[in-house]
């Protein structure tokens, strides 16, 4: 029996998304080749091939997808992407490649790589069985609302992060790229074995509670322990679910930052697509709606500002600022860059009809205004409170981006901060490592310098660097305070920067 398609489920309502070039995704070309490999793959606690058989026997169509690394800087440098998505330089990303739903008559708005973003009916489910990353400082998995239809008569041209995709056939869309709920991360994930690193986990994504329960039962019947199954709901009455023209599109994103063993990480990422199993699960007859509500999320904040554990922060930050300027002012002019909140959270962005740019509730994001480096002698100094030392972050970093590609080219992680502020502070500072001072420059100026590569002539690819005169910005991230979500924006001292230009 052909599945009936529902057309009336309208809603009442993650550094920056950009437009992909019209080139195919290499994972898509390998999909058929991987089918047999993936279906034969069984975790030590479950059998994915049996799961497919059981689901098909209980009234579902099951289609194969894939889960793979998306290296935006590499792909953009090869001419396959027209944005690097504000990549967190030094971190990695993984995405789905999904087939369209059975009987989907209206194609998704074109946004290669193929099927990285997709529509979902209110009664479909996605199932991911995947190995978890090796030991690392951070990893997570999260759903996003990617595109929503442009409102008739609304002028989006001055909206931050706006671009248009689609046509008269698909409908005209613009990016929301907003997170749905909280991520599943290494602190809360359900998994096989004794460790959250290197074990196996299952993700079930659906907007229908009944379908989720049915899929979960078949997972358990296939040998997957309930303690490794993570349900990641989509609130169907918030979003415009369905396959028709104008229905919302979604995506799924994995992140990994700072693995402790480079060889183990390379083995993990190079075999991820072969060792992971992705199914799109669609009832052959439309299931009755059983929507999830928006989940209650963990509030940001502890009620205590990080200055409460710092020694005279106003005085010491001013000492740092004055010492930096005094050190270079004779030979350089300078511009001081303050920072502000970079992105709204996903649900806010959806209701405001604006771009959330790939937000994640595990993180706090602040950014500077645009600036340029005009010569090889120009450089940047970033400084501020070390949020990991004050308890407001599990890790933090600063990343330099080029516009318009939003390619992260130079990053500094808190693991490098120790000792970096000492020379700029008076001897009466009891804990100089509560602060940091680091440079970004064309050449290594001292032990606390990260080198900015050029774009022109870069052997790795042109978007691994930026050239003089390119428009730049800085973004700062702080991941996971003691509440295990991103810190409150009102309980931290925002990071700062000074750009020095040779006189």
Q: DSSP for 34-80?
A: HHHHHHH-EETTEEHHHHHHHHHHTTEEEEE-EEEE--HHHHHHTTS
CA 231: distance to chain centroid?
19
Supply the pTM of this predicted model. 0.90
What's the confidence (pLDDT) of residue 40? 43
Kindly indicate the confidence band of residue 9, based on its pLDDT and cuts at 50, 70 and 90: very low
Q: What's the rounded mean pLDDT across residues 13-32? A: 39
Query: How confident is the prediction for the chain on average, in pLDDT?
Result: 90
Q: What's the rounded mean pLDDT across residues 193-220? A: 98
| Among the listed residues 93, 91, 90, 75, the one whose alpha carbon sits nearest the alpha carbon of residue 410 | 90
Kindly indicate the confidence band of residue 478, based on its pLDDT and cuts at 50, 70 and 90: very high
What's the confidence (pLDDT) of residue 115? 75
pLDDT of 495 above 50? yes
Range with top average pLDDT, 15-19, 167-171, 217-221:
217-221
Is the Cβ–Cβ distance between 473 and 371 less than 8 Å? Answer: yes
pLDDT greater at residue 295 or residue 59: 59
Cα–Cα distance measured from residue 356 to residue 345, given in angstroms and rounded to the nearest whole number: 6
What's the confidence (pLDDT) of residue 44? 58
What's the confidence (pLDDT) of residue 299? 96
pLDDT of 21 above 60? no
Q: What is the largest CA-CA distance in the chain?
A: 79
Q: What's the rounded mean pLDDT across residues 396-406? A: 95
Q: What's the rounded mean pLDDT across residues 353-381? A: 96
Tens-place pLDDT, residues 149-160: 999 999 998 888
Of all helices (H) and strands (E), which one includes residue 322?
Answer: helix 313-328
Tens-place pLDDT, residues 432-445: 999 999 999 999 99
pLDDT of 317 above 80? yes
Q: DSSP for 356-383?
A: --S--TTEEEEE---EE--STT-EEEEE
| Among the listed residues 502, 285, 275, 196, the one whose alpha carbon sits nearest the alpha carbon of residue 373 | 502
pLDDT greater at residue 34 or residue 342: 342
What's the confidence (pLDDT) of residue 226? 96
Tens-place pLDDT, residues 146-204: 999 999 999 998 888 888 999 999 999 999 999 999 999 999 999 999 999 999 999 99
What's the confidence (pLDDT) of residue 357? 86
Tens-place pLDDT, residues 326-337: 999 999 999 999
Residues ≥6 apart with Cβ < 8 Å to 353: 148, 151, 154, 176
Asked if omega into 404 is within 30° of 0 (cis), the reply is yes
Cα–Cα distance measured from residue 46 to residue 366, given in angstroms and rounded to the nearest whole number: 42
Q: What is the gyration radius of the CA atoms in the chain, in angstroms?
A: 24
pLDDT greater at residue 33 or residue 484: 484
| Among the listed residues 34, 97, 108, the one whose alpha carbon sits nearest the alpha carbon of residue 69 | 97
Q: What's the rounded mean pLDDT across residues 333-349? A: 96
Determine what percent of the chain is predicted with pLDDT higher than 70: 90
Cα–Cα distance measured from residue 349 to residue 366, given in angstroms and rounded to the nearest whole number: 16
Q: Residue 301, by phi and psi: left (phi above 0), alpha (psi -120 to 50) or beta?
A: left
């Amino acid at each position: 029996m052909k599945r009936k398609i529902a057309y009336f489920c309208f809603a009442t309502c993650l550094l920056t998304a950009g437009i992909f070039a019209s080139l195919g995704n290499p994972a898509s070309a390998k999909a058929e080749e991987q089918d047999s490999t993936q279906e034969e793959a069984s975790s030590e606690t479950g059998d994915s091939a049996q799961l497919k058989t059981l689901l098909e026997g209980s009234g579902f169509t099951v289609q194969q997808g894939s889960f793979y690394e998306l290296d935006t800087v590499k792909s953009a440098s090869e001419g396959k992407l027209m944005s690097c998505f504000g990549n967190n330089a030094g971190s990695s990303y993984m995405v789905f490649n999904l087939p369209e739903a059975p009987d989907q008559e209206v194609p998704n708005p074109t946004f290669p790589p193929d099927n990285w973003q997709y529509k979902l009916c209110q009664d479909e489910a996605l199932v991911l069985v995947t190995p978890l990353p090796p030991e690392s400082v951070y990893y997570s998995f999260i759903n996003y609302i990617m595109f929503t239809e442009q409102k008739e008569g609304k002028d989006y041209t001055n909206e931050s992060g706006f671009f248009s995709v689609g046509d008269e056939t698909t409908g005209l869309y613009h990016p929301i790229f907003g997170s749905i709920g909280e991520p599943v991360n290494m602190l809360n994930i359900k998994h096989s074995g004794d460790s959250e690193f290197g074990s196996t986990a299952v993700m079930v994504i659906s907007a229908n509670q009944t379908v989720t329960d049915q899929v979960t039962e078949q997972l358990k019947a296939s040998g997957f322990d309930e303690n490794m199954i993570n349900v990641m709901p989509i609130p169907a009455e918030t979003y415009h679910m369905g396959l028709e023209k104008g229905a919302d599109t979604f995506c799924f994103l994995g992140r990994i930052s700072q693995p402790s063993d480079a060889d183990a990480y390379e083995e993990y990422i190079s075999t991820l697509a072969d060792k992971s199993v992705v199914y799109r699960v669609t009832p052959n007859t439309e299931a009755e709606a059983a929507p999830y509500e928006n989940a209650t999320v963990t509030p940001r904040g502890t009620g205590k500002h990080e200055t409460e554990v710092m020694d005279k922060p106003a005085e010491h930050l001013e000492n740092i600022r004055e010492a930096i300027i005094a050190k270079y002012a004779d030979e350089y002019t300078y511009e001081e860059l303050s920072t502000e909140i970079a992105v709204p959270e996903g649900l806010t962005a959806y209701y405001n009809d604006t771009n959330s740019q790939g937000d994640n509730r595990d993180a706090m994001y602040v950014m500077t205004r645009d600036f340029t480096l005009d010569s090889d002698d120009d450089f940047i100094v970033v400084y501020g409170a070390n949020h990991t030392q004050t308890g407001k972050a599990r890790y933090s970093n600063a990343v330099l981006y080029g516009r318009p590609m939003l390619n992260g080219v130079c990053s500094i992680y808190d693991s490098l901060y120790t000792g970096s502020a000492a020379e700029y502070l008076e001897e009466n500072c009891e804990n100089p490592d509560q602060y940091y001072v680091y440079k970004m420059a064309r050449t290594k100026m001292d032990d606390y310098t990260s080198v900015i590569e050029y774009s022109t002539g870069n052997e790795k690819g042109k978007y691994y660097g930026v050239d003089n005169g390119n428009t730049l910005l800085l973004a700062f991230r702080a991941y996971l305070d003691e509440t295990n979500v991103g810190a409150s924006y009102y309980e931290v001292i925002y990071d700062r920067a000074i750009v020095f230009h040779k006189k």
